[in-house]
A and B are shown apart, each in its own frame.
Chain A
Amino acid sequence: MRFLLNTHFHLAVDSLRQNRTRTFLSALGIAIGVASIVLILSLTGGINQLISASSNKDNANLILVRPSNGKEVTDSIIDELTNTSQYSKSNLTIEDIAAIKEVDQVKSVAPIAISSSAITIAGKAYQSTTIVATNNDLQDILSLRLKSGQFLDYSLRKNVAVLGYNVAEQIFGTTEATTRTFTYNDQQFMVVGVLDKLEDPINFNGVDFDNSILINIDFASTFESSIQIQQIDIRTETTDVVPDAINAINEKLSKAKKGDQDYKIISGTDNLHPAGSLLSIVSYMLTLVASISLVVGGVGIMNIMLVSVSERTREIGIRKAVGASASHVLLQFLFESIILSVIGGLMGFILGYIFAFLISLVTPFAPHISWQILGTTGLVSLSVGVLFGIYPALKAANKDPITSLKFYR
């Protein structure tokens, strides 16, 4: 059997060689389809890598608590897209933070509560800043580095703020902005520190700390009636205790909330960034669209194989007369279409990466190279070859030798 497969392979290669232009053109159809899939997969892979490189850095001992309405992931993504006031539904409270702090394995806990009302400095309003109410632990959890000054310290003074790098530059024109003051919600705040510029602006908090102002949540809760906590960041002592910690936190929270499952706990290696799942859905959609061109390429192969079969009717008749069985003829033609589409697949793989590298020259992310993409393209082109080659091959195999031998062209 192995011998026969080998023979059919050589037969197919020989006959493809005799029609080089035709072979190239029909393989090109597949190549374009595969190239677009490779392009999409490698670029979205690159983006994903960029995100996870920034958000999964030392995140093995990280646990996040997010508000949840118990819906499926896809539903909540649709919510994200359609409902702008998603954050206002949060049921997490400052009491929850205190409860989580009681868990033994937990090292530090920091809430993230975002609001974006204007701040005023000397009568002038600045609209586009994000106010993040949090606590002192955030510096430890996110390993934030300070450009100048110190981080929030509630015990020292209540109405203090730490500015993001860009905010400091925009509002005060300098990163040396300590002791400057601003007004927010009729409260006077003093800047005690400025953050260093972040290396990775994308993180699991969904907050760009370069463009935000950090204030104490305990103080914010005194003047803001209903503070909305979007997320609670937790770090455990070691990575080993993460599962135990999650169980303990879950217990504490469900006790505090009297059994309401209106939160979810995400940990470590999970996709921590809210954009991650959305991105993967978009990439699947794009791949689906790209596979339409693969179908077009497949139809091209089928077309060319049908032409080839009818052109070689006589040859089929001769082969059958000298002893080829139907399965011999079937395999010969099936191999041809498979080789065609695999050649196309390889061409497309290379072509796709060339495009991806060209695009990466003007974008910040490098194309993602993995054996999964190679495997996918290999498998896809193989199945296209079989799928679109089987009908012409069956047609060839079922030809009657007598009428085939009488066939003139």
Chain B
Amino acid sequence: MSSQDNETIIELKGVSKRYGFGDAESYALRNFDLTVKRGEFIMIMGPSGCGKTTLLNIIGLLDQASSGEYYLAGKNVARVSAGKKARFRAKEIGFIFQNFNLVPTLSILENVSLPLIYSGCRKSRRLRMADNILEHFHLREREYYMPYQLSGGQQQRVAIARSLIADPSIILADEPTGNLDSRNSHIIMEELQEIHSQGNTIIMVTHNPALTTYATRVINMLDGEIDTDIKTVDDSELPRGGKNEKVSVKVLPSRDPIQMEITSESDVVVSGENVTTEEAPEEKAEEKETKKPAVKKSSSKKSTKKKSTSKKKGAKK
């Protein structure tokens, strides 16, 4: 461990989460210890009901531990007021959910700008930032669409854009690929990989062992306890930067998600610069097909979009 190590950002000491009382008492987490350094990409795996989501909720300040101590950026969370926790969620934590969790009544642009409302951003600035980040995710031409008008993969990319917009230091992803096919899963994972390479801390819950190749650390959980904890990348090699170095997402080189086709796991280039892989011709054709209506619609205005897209079939919820 050299002095070059990134600082500790999350520290759980003997955290337990108990549900019910007496005979019905059960533990979602039992004496859980975890230390996360800035820049780690942690995958949490384990069977259903082993407390993965509970862990994520506690880390994300949505839930409170029944006992134990949780230090977030050196502060004991137990002493922080609810309002401060909310502010911390707005500015420092980005959530990505399995079922995307976009607000169905708001447009993509407004959905992405949602966290900025609560960190005190003016509307024009809010929407400009959302527009910028959506451009990076190649969703700019759909920013006035409603969530139900997008495919699952697109929705999840919107959700990732939303989690990133306030430039958080921690990103918590609860099975972000759980509702997606393998192709979209890899697109999402590529996005997360790139975010991580900028020095962001990511904690992700997954059931898919194939995805663990992206991680710098894999934790297996069993019955609310850590079963195995494997670091695949040494602490000193963790990416730097992120929030503190002011590397914002909008200066990243744009990539076309179509080109981000991954033929095998070993092909993944961690650096994030221009992932070049061979393109499967039939998939390119498919992508074009889905893109067609978008081009047509993007020229029309907000109101007409709503009408025309009711036919659109790919609306997943």
Distance between Cα atoms of A51 and B161 in the complex (Å): 70
A73 close to B (CB within 8 Å): no
- Report 10 cross-chain contacts, Cβ distance below 8 Å, ordered by A residue: A7-B123, A315-B104, A318-B101, A320-B62, A320-B89, A322-B115, A322-B162, A323-B88, A325-B82, A402-B63
Q: In chain A between 1 and 50, which residues have their CB closer than 8 angstroms to a CB of chain B?
A: 3-4, 7, 10-11, 14-15, 18
Please indicate the chain A residues that have their CB under 8 angstroms from the CB of B117 in the complex. 7, 11, 324
Whether A321 lies near B62 (C-beta < 8 A) is yes
Is A401 part of the binding interface, using a Cβ–Cβ cutoff of 8 Å? yes
Residue-wise, chain A 300-330 has the 8 Å CB interface mask toward B (1 for contact) of 0000000000000011011111111111100
Docked Cα-Cα span, A288 to B85, in Å, equals 46
Tell yes or no: B196 within 8 A of A by CB.
no
Q: Is A405 an interface residue (CB 8 A)?
A: yes
Inter-subunit contact A401/B62 (CB<8 Å): yes
For the complex, what is the distance from the CA of A320 to the CA of B102, rounded to whole Å? 13
Residues on B with beta carbons closer than 8 Å to the beta carbon of A323: 86-91, 93, 115, 118-119, 166
Is B60 in the interface zone, CB < 8 Å from A?
Answer: yes
Q: Which of B95-123 contact A (CB under 8 A)?
A: 95, 97, 101-106, 114-115, 117-120, 122-123
Asked if B57 is at the interface (CB within 8 A of a chain A CB), the reply is yes
Determine the chain A residues whose CB is within 8 A of the CB of B115 once the complex forms. 322-323
Rounded to whole Å, the gap between the CB of B72 and the closest CB of chain A is 14
Tell me how many residue pairs across A and B have CB atoms closer than 8 Å.
Answer: 70
Is B83 in contact with chain A by the CB < 8 A criterion? yes
In the complex, which residues of chain A have a beta carbon less than 8 angstroms from the beta carbon of B123? 7, 10
Q: Which of A74-116 contact B (CB under 8 A)?
A: none
What are the residues of chain B within 8 A of A402 when measuring CB–CB?
Answer: 57, 62-63
Whole-angstrom CA separation of A315 from B105 in the bound complex: 9
Query: Given A315-B103, A325-B118, list of 11 further CB < 8 A pairs?
Result: A10-B123, A18-B105, A319-B118, A320-B89, A323-B166, A325-B82, A325-B83, A327-B83, A328-B86, A328-B118, A401-B62
A321 lies within 8 A of B60 (CB): yes
Q: Which of B60, B101, B104, B118 contacts A324 (CB 8 A)?
A: B118
Contact indicator per residue, chain A 321-357, by CB within 8 Å of chain B (1) or not (0): 1111111100000000000000000000000000000
- Interface residues of chain A, those whose CB is within 8 Å of chain B, are 3-4, 7, 10-11, 14-15, 18, 314-315, 317-328, 401-402, 405
Query: Roughly how many angstroms separate A401 CA and B118 CA in the complex, as a whole number?
Result: 15
Checking B57, B90, B105 against A322 with a beta-carbon cut-off of 8 angstroms, the contacting residue is B90
Q: What 6 A-B pairs come out closest when comparing CB atoms?
A: A323-B90, A325-B86, A323-B118, A322-B115, A323-B89, A325-B83
The answer on a CB contact under 8 Å between A318 and B103 is yes
User: How many Å lie between the Cα of A275 and that of B45 in the bound state?
Assistant: 85
Interface residues contributed by chain B, number (CB under 8 Å): 32
Nearest Cβ distance between residue A319 and chain B, in whole angstroms?
7
Task: Tell me the smallest distance from the CB of B243 to a CB of chain A, in Å.
Answer: 16
> By CB atoms of chain B within 10 A, which of A318, A326, A402 has the most?
A318
Which of B85, B117, B119 counts the most chain A CB atoms within 10 A? B117
Q: Please report the C-alpha to C-alpha distance between residue A11 and residue B86 in the assembled complex, in whole angstroms.
A: 18
Partner of B114 from the list A10, A18, A322, A405 (CB cut-off 8 Å) is: A322
CA distance A322 to B93 in the complex (A): 8
CB < 8 Å: which of A18, A318, A325 contacts B87? A325
CA–CA, A71 and B57, complex, Å:
71
CB distance from B220 to the nearest CB of A (A): 23
What residues on B are CB-neighbors of A326 within 8 Å?
Answer: 82-83, 86
How far is it, in angstroms, between the C-alpha of A15 and the C-alpha of B122 when the chains are bound?
19
Q: How distant is the Cα of A401 from the Cα of B82 in the complex, in angstroms?
A: 12
- The chain A residue with its CB closest to the CB of B62 is A401
Cα of A14 to Cα of B111 in the assembled complex, Å? 13
Cβ < 8 Å to A, chain B residues 116-132: 117-120, 122-123
Q: Which of chain B's residues have a CB closer than 8 A to the CB of A3?
A: 120, 122
CB distance from A332 to the nearest CB of B (A): 10
**Are B89 and A321 in contact, CB atoms less than 8 angstroms apart?**
yes
Q: Which of B62, B82, B86 has most A Cβ within 10 Å?
A: B86
Is A320 a contact of B86 with CB atoms below 8 Å? yes
B95 — nearest CB in chain A belongs to which residue? Answer: A321
- Closest residue on chain A to residue B162 by CB atoms: A322
The smallest beta-carbon distance between A358 and chain B, in angstroms, is: 38
Output the least CB separation between B142 and chain A (Å).
19
Q: When chains A and B are docked, how far (Å) is the Cα of A253 from the Cα of B20?
A: 85
Among A315, A318, A324, the residue within 8 A (CB) of B86 is: A324
A292 to B114 alpha-carbon distance, docked (Å): 40
Residues of the A chain whose Cβ atoms lie less than 8 Å from the Cβ of B122:
3
